[in-house]
Amino acid sequence: MIMKCLFPVAGYGTRFLPATKAQPKEMLPILTKPLIQYGVEEAFAAGMKNIAFVTGRTKRAIEDHFDVTYELEDQISGTSKESQLDDIRELIAICTFSYTRQAHMRGLGDAILTGETLIGDRPFGVILADDLCVGEPDGVMAQMVRVYEKYRCSIVAVEEVPIEDVGRYGVVKGRQLDDRNILVEHMVEKPAPQDAPSNLAIIGRYILTPDIFEILRNTPPGKNGEVQLTDALQIQAANGKVIAYRFQGRRFDCGSVEGFVAATNFFFSCRKDAR
């Protein structure tokens, strides 16, 4: 059973300035729910009740969101608005939330290494909340837990992207095991289209085995001078210990304005259909 899920949320979110000048990108809402809550709900649905955040400056609103707000709750108690808090109340009642800070933005690999103190020595999930996933029929992390139970190694979620977009992702290549699973042999971070080994891009969902921490400790800065998770995963892949999983469902890149708008439209049309 994987109990812990790590949320690296220390990034500056520069693509959403000025909105992210004094508030976390992860608190931007798709309709009425912040991105980070969608991510935590996905982890919870996968059985992960220990939620760990790697935060930074200007991220305090995330801590407040996953805490009781007495005055507000008292104010709306007994009104029709109370039901809007049902989901977050359930998370607060059942999950635990812990926090540590990444002092310098040295990349996703460094953020995950910073989270070691909260994770310990068991396999764990990682969710990048700006990738908003709508799994079908189950959440993407729940799908990945099943893949982990079969292969017992690190799992990365992948999807095909247009070849001209590969430079924004880690890209994998390997041996097809079945329709959805690939034993990764090679991976490269943000390749130029002509150098990309495939168009299978890693999205913001991972299950990692805890040996990743020792590997990250010994991983020098790579692309853009950042400690790249992909470089550390490549070491595991060389030992046949990484599966790329083509998830079932949709992903919205809410770190970009286009993806954010697409997600908003999608969730709005779902809500209209539900009425």
Q: Which residues here bind ligand UTP, judged by CB under 6 A?
A: 8-15, 25, 54, 102, 105-108, 110-111, 128, 130, 255
- Smallest separation (angstroms) from ligand UTP to the CB of 55: 8
> How many CA atoms within 13 Å lie on the side-chain side of 218?
7
The beta-strand segments (E) located in the chain are 4-8, 29-30, 33-34, 50-55, 96-101, 124-127, 131-135, 154-160, 170-176, 181-189, 200-208, 242-246, 249-253
- Residue 96 DSSP SS3: strand
Closer Cβ to ligand UTP, 240 or 259, answer by number: 259
Strands 124-127 and 200-208: antiparallel
- Smallest separation (angstroms) from ligand UTP to the CB of 54: 5
The letter for the amino acid at 67 is D
* Position of minimal CB gap to ligand UTP: 11
Closer Cβ to ligand UTP, 130 or 209, answer by number: 130
Phi, psi of 97 (to 5 degrees): -130, 130
Closer Cβ to ligand UTP, 148 or 169, answer by number: 169
Strands 242-246 and 181-189: antiparallel
Closer Cβ to ligand UTP, 14 or 269, answer by number: 14
Closer Cβ to ligand UTP, 174 or 263, answer by number: 263
- Smallest separation (angstroms) from ligand UTP to the CB of 230: 12
Closer Cβ to ligand UTP, 174 or 255, answer by number: 255
- Smallest separation (angstroms) from ligand UTP to the CB of 3: 21
- Smallest separation (angstroms) from ligand UTP to the CB of 176: 28
Q: 86: exposed, middle or buried (C-beta count within 10 Å: 0-12, 13-18, 19+)?
A: exposed
- Smallest separation (angstroms) from ligand UTP to the CB of 99: 12
Q: What's the CA gap between 17 and 19, in Å, rounded?
A: 5
Q: What's the CA gap between 126 and 8, in Å, rounded?
A: 8
